[in-house]
Chains A and B, each alone.
Chain A
Amino acid sequence: MSNSRLLNRRLKSWPGWVLLVLVVVGFGVVGATRDRGPLDPGDRIDELSRRVACPVCDGESVYESRNPASEAIRAAIREAVSQGTANDDAILAAIAEAYGGRVLLVPRATGFDALVWALPVTAGVIGIVALVFAFRRWRIEAGLAGVANDEDYQIVAAERERLGDAGGD
């Protein structure tokens, strides 16, 4: 009796979880693979400029800064884009090589900088695993509490009678 109810409850609940997982995976796939369409060179220069910090300013990207150093970096990006032989990563790597990695506003996915990307993912995985354990434990505890059987009903009825609870619920 109780086992079938638990099974029934599980069967009712899992489509919701499956749907949730599908939605999350779907958004993830779309976000990771969506094609933003072809950028023209101007857009590409602007986008790259936004990913490089002005080396002598506080909190400004090369795109925003009017500093001569930023002007020089914009020129380097413009030239690299116009040559068309380097991809975005190579262009940014060349700038980081000359000015130092600190000018990259989007950290690299290698070396010590990779921690910035790895830590949130690791924390997320640990959190999900912890939730799975917690849900499992709560479910087991709930199962141990059990479902009232005939004996339980008899005990309750006897107790209510003893206490003189004759008038309805």
Chain B
Amino acid sequence: MSAERRLAPWIAGGVAVVLVGLIAVLIAAAPEQQSGAATTLLDRPAPAVLGEFEDGTPFELSRRRGSWVVLNFFTSTCIPCRNEHPELVAFVDQQRSLGVDGAEFYTIVQHDEPDSVNSFFADNGGDWPIVYDPNFSFQNGFGVAQVPETWIIDPNGVVRGRVIAEVTAEFLSTTIQRLREGA
């Protein structure tokens, strides 16, 4: 038997093993979820992002260290944003009742005009700070493709949670409480 004939089955077997292994990896790999909350930023320092309030005053996220911070990315025309708004009002009220231990809450406006945003808040309540993102600093820093999204950042400036869906007051409160106790 020639060397080629002896070698051929081994080469074919090796190729087959590699192909089977690849197929197994592809089958076993968890599909990347478009709407999932997975982010490379989780448990890492929040990006250094800069926005501004309606009057042009800058808002620098890194200066909020020392407090739990909740960022809610929002557009006034977005239906899920409208749906979750009462829950956000309840959450902010609940956090304010905790005094200095309560989390700070910010709306990060995405692709919307101050008139529309102000009108929405006048109609639906909510008196927390509203931050505009004219240079897409927040959007690109956090990789927010759609609204609503809610991010939780701990007092060390580390990203601790991301929710790509409507949130409830109870969910936010219990999540932050759990993170506080685990921190």
Contact = CB atoms under 8 A, between A and B. Distances in A.
B32 A102 contact: yes
Interface residues of B, number: 27
A126 B145 CA distance: 42
Q: Is the interface of B mostly helix, strand, loop or mixed?
A: loop
20 contacts: A69-B139, A69-B144, A69-B145, A71-B111, A72-B136, A72-B140, A76-B136, A98-B40, A98-B141, A98-B142, A98-B143, A99-B143, A99-B145, A100-B32, A100-B39, A115-B22, A126-B11, A133-B7, A133-B8, A137-B4
Interface residues on A, range: 20 to 34
Interface of B: 2, 4, 7-8, 11, 15, 22, 29, 32, 34, 38-41, 47, 110-111, 135-136, 139-146
Contacts of A102: 32, 34
Interface of A is mostly: helix
Contacts of A97: 40-41, 143
A164 to B, nearest CB: 43
A73 interface: yes
B135 A79 contact: yes
Nearest to A54: B145
A75 B32 contact: no
Q: Which 10 A-B pairs have the closest CB atoms?
A: A98-B143, A55-B145, A72-B136, A99-B143, A76-B140, A69-B145, A68-B111, A72-B139, A56-B145, A75-B136
